[in-house]
């Protein structure tokens, strides 16, 4: 079933790439494929028993000599991330294209990207993980470069090269890690059980550094985040939504799965340093976002802030081999919820930013104002997404952040206490954004600004409904994630 | 079952919000009956001892329960809200009315959640949703950009305080492993101090104490019915209530009581002084709210949370009434300038009923508020005579500003009202004013005996001194009212505090953010840009080299590449499969990347040769790789 969820989008992408399908036809094919993929994941979810380690396994030998195989399987963390990604892809694909050119290729690349993204979360083979990690760059590169606006090609190239540099580091680290095993294996479960670099100092540290820098670029963390704002600003809205919602999660998911789980000892040694970087990201992301006059740049920098929370949670979770179990569990659960919440919320915010671009071809906040009257539906969803993003209780972001903070405080009180300041800055910056978009005088140029269409509203409502559901009733998601197993049994 | 108490008004409010603004009558009836049902729910909950629980997940649970004090507040909230929403439906601008009354009910629901909470997480949820509602309600008339800006100011200020609650939550969980209030009892030492002072910051911010006071002035940009709700039944009142509710667990922290008293007393005196000279009707009342809440803080710090709660309820009743009357006279005068008012002749019923509420504010016996204020005086005296005297002075100030407010707003004058209030507009605050009179029953010892309160000993001498000061305050207030307009210096605007905050916190932060943004663009981004520039040089030379791959990779980041090359050299030393991998993996990936070459040519003609190179080299190596792997 998991393989089906990965292969379907690839197959449909190939179909669209080579078969002469009309624009409307490709759209229909893409939406149907993404929905089927999501359905396949939901079927897995129905059969999933939380707290039982990896499930829905499939293993097909590929290169036995190297221990490489097509292995798929999910635990609570990867299943919940894959479900979120599947949903977000349906939303992004169903969202109207910004520039309606080459629709067939556009949808083909989107499906290609979906296949790669789902593959990354679902695979249990480190080599396949890496392949999907790089393929996702390719898909996003073309989506930004060909269907973006402004300096799209430049931004796409910067995104591609910067994150490729990161993925090279990851590749080296993967190889170094795998070479420690005998016989060679790329099986994530075995690597988690083996802890191949346990007891080594320098080598383990270097390998860890490779992984952490590589994933930090993708996440992104301060100071390697500067590829993010231009990529977002020039990307089409739906691609931005996927970039923030799904691709950034690959960095944090990778951090959990590989360094935290496979190199517990080394990770625990360096967890505090990672937490400090996360703390700087939290503060820096929010402060820089506060000063942005460009709608999309502002949202983009809040991603640095939010992913900082997620990485803080991960650092706390891996901060020790024993002790503080309950706090570390809470922090890891919080980190995974943050990934999912950020995916849904920021995904929605970027789709909303896309709606602004589609109507006014402008992201400059100074050119907006007073839209509450002519776009009440747009205002309602922006409202909801903004408050979710600033961590208002009753919405998903709060669930994540409160758990991360509680867990972090038990381990490093001062980091949690300083990190709280991020909450106040995000509140100020989102309220300022709402104010400048929707309130006050309306510039004459915006008199003909139209509200969201019903299909746009429907897509956003579906995504945000989940944000509300997680916010008011988090238990189902927290149980599904089952962070305790990820820590105690090393994921397996 | 207790969940019904917060959830019903929230859902009812959202439903009403979703309807249109066409009929005042319908909105008034709907919102009024929703508040009425909430009141009945609160009474039932208090009578039957309802409780509630909800599994949040990850080992956390939300718990609701009512203590004797919180039951009293839980009943007061919908009671006051009932009058306020009925007034709002009759009084406020038709446009956006459904949103206004709907949000007011949501606001009440959030307050009920905070009041019924029995653990810190539920409290925090209600606490912050209140912040959201205050933002939306203060910015209700959004077409004037200043109003939403004030809403933002209020939200950010109070959220700054909320961080204290987060701190308390984190400290409690990390020490006690749970978040219910009882867990506070298992704390000691530093964690308990963190929790106690964190909660004090949260309470102080909501209650407009000390440095947090200015947000209450900005909140005056909201409609008057919003001010009434905010100051009387929700939000601001929540600050004092929280301290009263958690007092049993926090009082043992060294220095906590003294800090609470100092903060409350300072605010009571400063707020009183500001109110005495304010020329804006609503701002005068806002400053008085800070001052009255300060008195409640003093009561809590002196060890009498029950008295604080009693004063909170008395205050809720008369302050809501006064704000609603201020809305009437403000509309009639066309502005909130007290000098433009004086409606005794034109609006005698308004003047008469508001006099009752003003007497309660002035704490003149036999009003109920006077009783609770004298109890606070007694509690303070018991603590320290000087403190008692200071509280009496604060009481005299409240008599002065109450007298001045009423005299200027509703006293003798020739002002001709621009509009005349309808009967519901008078009935709603009138009923509250009469309720304030009814609370005068508290002066009767048999009634006091029924209360679940511990009362301080009060001596006759103190009462006499207090009343004399009160009388002096009244006279001073009347004298001030009859003088020419007071100069509105910076002192009237919270003794210059907002200007200080603006210059000391807001502006520097904005400069910091701008600086950080420039740094981010210039300095941090220079790393990859520098690497790219250097690599371009390498690439120019590299074209002549056979390995185009190297030039392309060099573009990435010179440093990264060097590390990669070194590691690669290391890997070559290892066994054959390892070597295959090091070379095969990037190439294999590159081959897949190369698939996109056709698109890349259109996109980046300058780079297409690189992709061709990757494609060719990658294909060749991938074939080798597959052959190799067979062995």
**CA nearest to A224 within chain B:** B524
Determine the Cα angle at A254 with ends A253 and A256, to 5°. 65
B526 CB-near residues (< 8 Å, 6+ apart) = none
Alpha helix (H) ranges present in B483-575?
Answer: 497-501, 507-519, 526-542, 548-554, 558-573
User: Are residues A65 and B577, on separate chains, in Cβ contact within 8 Å?
Assistant: yes
pLDDT band at B630 (very low <50, low <70, confident <90, very high): very low
Alpha-carbon distance B222 to B365, whole Å? Answer: 32
Which residues on B lie below 8 Å from A372 (Cβ)? Answer: 142
Among the partner-chain residues A168, A392, A410, the one whose CB lies closest to the CB of B128 is: A392
Alpha-carbon distance A155 to A235, whole Å? Answer: 8
Residue A295 predicted with pLDDT over 90: yes
Per-residue pLDDT at B505: 85
Interface test with A, best of B58, B117, B521 (most A CBs within 10 A): B58
pLDDT band at A154 (very low <50, low <70, confident <90, very high): confident
Residue B508 predicted with pLDDT over 90: no
Burial class (CB in 10 A: 0-12, 13-18, 19+), B18: exposed
User: Are residues B592 and A135, on separate chains, in Cβ contact within 8 Å?
Assistant: yes
pLDDT band at B621 (very low <50, low <70, confident <90, very high): low
User: Are residues B57 and A169, on separate chains, in Cβ contact within 8 Å?
Assistant: no
User: Are residues A63 and B629, on separate chains, in Cβ contact within 8 Å?
Assistant: yes
Buried b (16+ CB within 10 A) or exposed e, A146-172: bbbbeebbebbbbbbbbbbbbbbbbbb
Residue-wise pLDDT for B31-61, tens only, equals 999 999 999 999 999 999 899 999 988 788 9
Residue B592 predicted with pLDDT over 60: no
pLDDT band at A88 (very low <50, low <70, confident <90, very high): very high
**Backbone torsion region of residue B262, taken as left when φ is above 0, otherwise alpha when ψ lies between -120 and 50, otherwise beta:** alpha
State the average pLDDT over residues A328-332.
92
**In 3-state terms, what secondary structure has residue A69?**
strand
Least Cα separation, residue A288 to chain B (angstroms): 5
- Residue B359 near residue B439 (C-beta atoms within 8 A): no
- Residue B122 near residue B133 (C-beta atoms within 8 A): no
Q: Which residue has the higher pLDDT, B449 or A402?
A: A402
Among the partner-chain residues B129, B510, B525, the one whose CB lies closest to the CB of A393 is: B129
B460 CB-near residues (< 8 Å, 6+ apart) = none
Compute how many other C-beta atoms are within 10 angstroms of the C-beta atom of residue B57: 20
pLDDT band at A200 (very low <50, low <70, confident <90, very high): confident
- Residue A233 near residue A297 (C-beta atoms within 8 A): yes
pLDDT band at A242 (very low <50, low <70, confident <90, very high): very high
**CA nearest to B169 within chain A:** A406
Compute how many other C-beta atoms are within 10 angstroms of the C-beta atom of residue B598: 12
Burial class (CB in 10 A: 0-12, 13-18, 19+), B59: middle
Residue-wise pLDDT for B292-324, tens only, equals 999 999 999 999 999 999 999 999 999 999 999
User: Are residues B174 and A476, on separate chains, in Cβ contact within 8 Å?
Assistant: no
State the average pLDDT over residues B67-91.
93
Per-residue pLDDT at A78: 93
Least Cα separation, residue B59 to chain A (angstroms): 8
**CA nearest to B190 within chain A:** A413
Which residues on A lie below 8 Å from B614 (Cβ)? Answer: none
Lowest mean pLDDT of A106-120, A471-485, B522-536, name the range: B522-536
Per-residue pLDDT at A482: 80
Residue B596 predicted with pLDDT over 80: no
pLDDT band at B631 (very low <50, low <70, confident <90, very high): very low
> Residue A158 — φ and ψ, nearest 5°?
-60, -45
Alpha-carbon distance A485 to B367, whole Å? Answer: 62
**CA nearest to A330 within chain B:** B58
Per-residue pLDDT at B555: 42
User: Are residues A168 and B586, on separate chains, in Cβ contact within 8 Å?
Assistant: yes
**Backbone torsion region of residue A338, taken as left when φ is above 0, otherwise alpha when ψ lies between -120 and 50, otherwise beta:** alpha
Lowest mean pLDDT of A172-181, A319-328, B145-154, name the range: A319-328
**CA nearest to A157 within chain B:** B604
pLDDT band at B562 (very low <50, low <70, confident <90, very high): low
- Residue B494 near residue B274 (C-beta atoms within 8 A): yes
Alpha-carbon distance B256 to A199, whole Å? Answer: 49
Residue B613 predicted with pLDDT over 70: no
Which residues on B lie below 8 Å from A142 (Cβ)? Answer: 596, 599, 603
Among the partner-chain residues A161, A370, A477, the one whose CB lies closest to the CB of B555 is: A161
Least Cα separation, residue B136 to chain A (angstroms): 10
Going through A67-188 in order, the beta strands assigned E by DSSP cover 68-74
**CA nearest to A412 within chain B:** B174
User: Are residues A146 and B560, on separate chains, in Cβ contact within 8 Å?
Assistant: no
B506 CB-near residues (< 8 Å, 6+ apart) = none
**Dihedral of alpha carbons A277, A279, A284, A286, sign:** positive
Which residues on B lie below 8 Å from A398 (Cβ)? Answer: 125, 128
Pairing of strands A55-63, A68-74: antiparallel
Interface test with A, best of B21, B57, B508, B627 (most A CBs within 10 A): B57
Among the partner-chain residues B135, B516, B560, the one whose CB lies closest to the CB of A168 is: B560
Alpha-carbon distance A49 to A128, whole Å? Answer: 25
User: Are residues A138 and B592, on separate chains, in Cβ contact within 8 Å?
Assistant: yes
Among the partner-chain residues B148, B167, B516, the one whose CB lies closest to the CB of A439 is: B148
Interface test with B, best of A224, A288, A429, A432 (most B CBs within 10 A): A288
Lowest mean pLDDT of A28-32, A54-58, A377-381, A397-401, name the range: A54-58
Least Cα separation, residue A473 to chain B (angstroms): 7
Closest by CA position to A236, among listed A103, A338, A132, A343: A103
Which residues on A lie below 8 Å from B567 (Cβ)? Answer: 172, 176
User: Are residues A424 and B163, on separate chains, in Cβ contact within 8 Å?
Assistant: yes
State the average pLDDT over residues B502-513.
86
**Radius of gyration of chain B from Cα atoms?**
33
**The two structure tokens encoding residue A385:** 């997404």
User: Are residues B125 and A393, on separate chains, in Cβ contact within 8 Å?
Assistant: yes
> Residue A82 — φ and ψ, nearest 5°?
-65, -40
User: Are residues B603 and A145, on separate chains, in Cβ contact within 8 Å?
Assistant: yes
pLDDT band at B620 (very low <50, low <70, confident <90, very high): low
User: Are residues B143 and A63, on separate chains, in Cβ contact within 8 Å?
Assistant: no
Least Cα separation, residue A350 to chain B (angstroms): 21
Which residues on B lie below 8 Å from A402 (Cβ)? Answer: 121, 124, 166, 169
Residue-wise pLDDT for B241-276, tens only, equals 999 999 999 999 999 999 999 999 999 999 999 999
User: Are residues B603 and A142, on separate chains, in Cβ contact within 8 Å?
Assistant: yes
User: Are residues A223 and B524, on separate chains, in Cβ contact within 8 Å?
Assistant: yes
State the average pLDDT over residues A311-331.
90
Which residues on B lie below 8 Å from A168 (Cβ)? Answer: 553, 556, 560, 564, 586
State the average pLDDT over residues B465-482.
91
User: Are residues A420 and B144, on separate chains, in Cβ contact within 8 Å?
Assistant: no
Which residues on A lie below 8 Å from B167 (Cβ)? Answer: 417, 420
Per-residue pLDDT at B617: 60
- Residue A85 near residue A117 (C-beta atoms within 8 A): yes
**CA nearest to B556 within chain A:** A161
Q: Which residues are paired to A187 by β-bridges? A: A125
Determine the Cα angle at A302 with ends A296 and A308, to 5°. 145
Find the helix packing angle between B236-250 and B97-116, rounded to 10°: 10
User: Are residues A161 and B556, on separate chains, in Cβ contact within 8 Å?
Assistant: yes
């Amino acid at each position: 079933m998991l393989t089906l969820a990965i292969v379907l989008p690839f197959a449909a992408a190939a179909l669209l790439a080579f078969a002469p399908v009309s624009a409307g036809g490709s759209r229909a094919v893409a939406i149907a494929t993404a929905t089927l993929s999501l359905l396949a994941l939901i079927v897995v979810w129905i059969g999933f028993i939380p707290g039982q380690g990896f499930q829905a396994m499939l293993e097909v030998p590929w290169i036995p000599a190297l221990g490489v195989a097509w292995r798929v399987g999910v635990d609570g963390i990867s299943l919940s991330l894959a479900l979120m990604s599947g949903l977000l892809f349906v939303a992004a694909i169903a969202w109207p294209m910004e520039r309606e050119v080459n629709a067939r290729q556009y949808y083909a690349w989107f499906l290609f990207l979906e296949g790669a993204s789902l593959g990354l979360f679902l695979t249990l083979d480190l080599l396949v993980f890496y392949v999907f990690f790089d393929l996702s760059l390719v898909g996003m590169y073309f989506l930004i470069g060909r269907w973006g606006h402004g300096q799209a090609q430049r931004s796409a190239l910067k995104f591609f090269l910067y994150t490729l540099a990161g993925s090279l580091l990851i590749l080296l680290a993967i190889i170094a890690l795998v070479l420690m095993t005998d016989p060679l294996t790329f099986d994530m479960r075995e690597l988690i059980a083996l802890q191949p670099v346990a007891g080594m100092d320098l080598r383990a540290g270097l390998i860890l550094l490779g992984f952490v820098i590589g994933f930090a670029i993708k996440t992104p963390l301060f100071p390697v985040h500067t590829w993010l704002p231009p990529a977002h600003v020039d990307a089409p809205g739906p691609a931005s939504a996927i970039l923030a919602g799904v691709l950034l999660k690959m960095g944090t998911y990778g951090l959990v799965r590989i360094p935290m789980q496979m190199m517990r000892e080394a990770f625990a040694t360096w967890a505090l340093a990672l937490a400090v970087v996360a703390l700087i990201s939290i503060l820096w992301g929010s402060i820089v976002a506060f000063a942005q006059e460009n709608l999309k740049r502002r949202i983009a920098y809040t991603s640095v802030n939010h992913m900082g929370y997620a990485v803080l949670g991960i650092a706390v979770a891996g901060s020790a081999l024993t002790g503080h179990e309950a706090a570390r569990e809470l922090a890891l659960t919080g980190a995974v919820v943050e990934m999912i919440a950020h995916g849904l919320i920021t995904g929605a915010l970027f789709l909303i930013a896309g709606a602004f671009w589609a109507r006014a071809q402008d992201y400059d906040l100074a050119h907006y104002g007073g839209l509450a009257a002519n776009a009440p539906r747009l205002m309602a969803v922006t409202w909801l997404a903004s408050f979710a993003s600033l961590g208002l209780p009753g919405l998903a972001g709060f669930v994540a952040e409160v758990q991360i903070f509680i867990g972090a405080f038990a381990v490093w009180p001062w980091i949690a206490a300083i990190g709280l300041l991020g909450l106040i800055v995000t509140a100020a910056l989102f309220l300022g954004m709402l104010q400048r978009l929707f309130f006050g005088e309306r510039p004459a140029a915006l008199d003909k600004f139209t509200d969201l269409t019903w299909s746009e509203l429907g897509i956003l409502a579906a995504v945000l409904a989940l944000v509300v559901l997680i916010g008011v009733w988090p238990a189902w998601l927290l149980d599904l994630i089952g962070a305790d197993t990820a820590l105690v049994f090393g994921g397996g | 079952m207790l969940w019904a108490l917060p959830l019903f008004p929230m859902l009812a409010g959202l439903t009403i919000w979703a309807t249109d603004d066409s009929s005042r009558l319908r909105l008034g009836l709907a919102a009024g009956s929703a508040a009425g049902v909430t009141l009945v729910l609160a009474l039932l909950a208090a009578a039957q001892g309802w409780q509630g629980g909800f599994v949040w997940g990850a080992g956390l649970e939300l718990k609701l329960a009512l203590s004797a004090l919180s039951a009293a507040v839980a009943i007061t909230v919908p009671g006051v809200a009932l009058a306020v929403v009925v007034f709002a439906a009759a009084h406020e601008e038709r446009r956006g009315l459904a949103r206004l009354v709907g949000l007011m009910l949501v606001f009440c629901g959030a307050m009920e959640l905070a009041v019924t909470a029995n653990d810190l997480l539920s409290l925090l949820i209600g606490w912050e949703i209140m912040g959201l509602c205050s933002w939306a309600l203060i910015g209700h008339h959004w077409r004037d950009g200043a109003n939403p800006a004030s809403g933002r100011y209020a939200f950010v200020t109070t959220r700054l305080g909320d961080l204290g609650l987060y701190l308390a939550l984190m400290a409690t969980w990390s020490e006690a492993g749970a978040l219910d209030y009882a867990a506070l009892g298992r704390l000691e030492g530093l964690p308990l101090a963190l929790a106690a002072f964190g909660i004090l910051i949260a309470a102080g911010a909501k209650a407009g104490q000390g440095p947090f006071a200015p947000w209450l002035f900005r909140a005056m940009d909201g409609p008057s019915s919003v001010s009434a709700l905010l100051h009387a039944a929700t939000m601001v009142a929540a600050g004092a209530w929280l301290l009263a509710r958690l007092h049993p667990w926090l009082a043992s922290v060294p220095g906590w009581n003294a800090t609470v008293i100092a903060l409350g007393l300072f605010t009571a005196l400063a707020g009183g002084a500001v109110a005495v000279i304010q020329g804006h009707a609503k701002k005068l009342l806002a400053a008085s709210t800070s001052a009255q809440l300060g008195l409640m803080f003093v009561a809590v710090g002196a060890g009498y949370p029950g008295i604080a709660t009693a004063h909170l309820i008395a205050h809720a009743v008369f302050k809501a009434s006064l704000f609603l009357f201020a809305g009437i006279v403000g509309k009639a005068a066309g502005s909130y300038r007290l000098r433009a008012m004086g409606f005794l002749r034109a609006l005698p019923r308004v003047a008469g009923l508001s006099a009752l509420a003003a007497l309660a504010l002035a704490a003149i016996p036999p009003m109920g508020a006077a009783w609770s204020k004298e109890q606070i005086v007694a509690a303070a005296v018991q603590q320290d005579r000087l403190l008692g005297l200071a509280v009496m002075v604060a009481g005299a100030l409240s008599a002065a500003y109450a007298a001045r407010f009423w005299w200027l707003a509703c006293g003798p004058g020739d002002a001709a009202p621009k509009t005349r209030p309808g009967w519901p507009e008078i009935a709603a605050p009138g009923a509250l004013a009469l309720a304030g009179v009814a609370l005068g029953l508290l002066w009767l010892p048999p009634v006091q005996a029924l209360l679940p309160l511990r009362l301080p000993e009060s001596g006759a001498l103190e009462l006499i001194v207090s009343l004399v000061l009160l009388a002096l305050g009244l006279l001073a207030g009347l004298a001030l009212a009859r003088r020419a307009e007071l100069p509105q210096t910076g002192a009237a605007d919270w003794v210059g505090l907002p200007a200080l905050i603006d210059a000391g916190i807001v502006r520097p932060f904005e400069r910091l953010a701008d600086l950080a943004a420039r740094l981010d663009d210039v300095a941090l981004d220079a790393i990859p840009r520098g690497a790219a520039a250097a690599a371009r040089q390498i690439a120019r030379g590299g074209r002549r080299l056979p390995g185009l791959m190297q030039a392309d990779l060099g573009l990435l980041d010179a440093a990264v590449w060097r590390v990669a090359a070194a590691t690669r050299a290391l890997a070559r030393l290892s066994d054959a499969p390892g070597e295959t991998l090091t070379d095969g993996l990037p190439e294999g990936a590159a081959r897949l990347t190369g698939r996109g070459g056709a698109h890349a040519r259109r996109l980046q003609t300058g780079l297409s040769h690189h992709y061709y190179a990757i494609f060719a080299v990658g294909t060749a190596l991938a074939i080798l790789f597959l052959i190799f792997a067979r062995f």
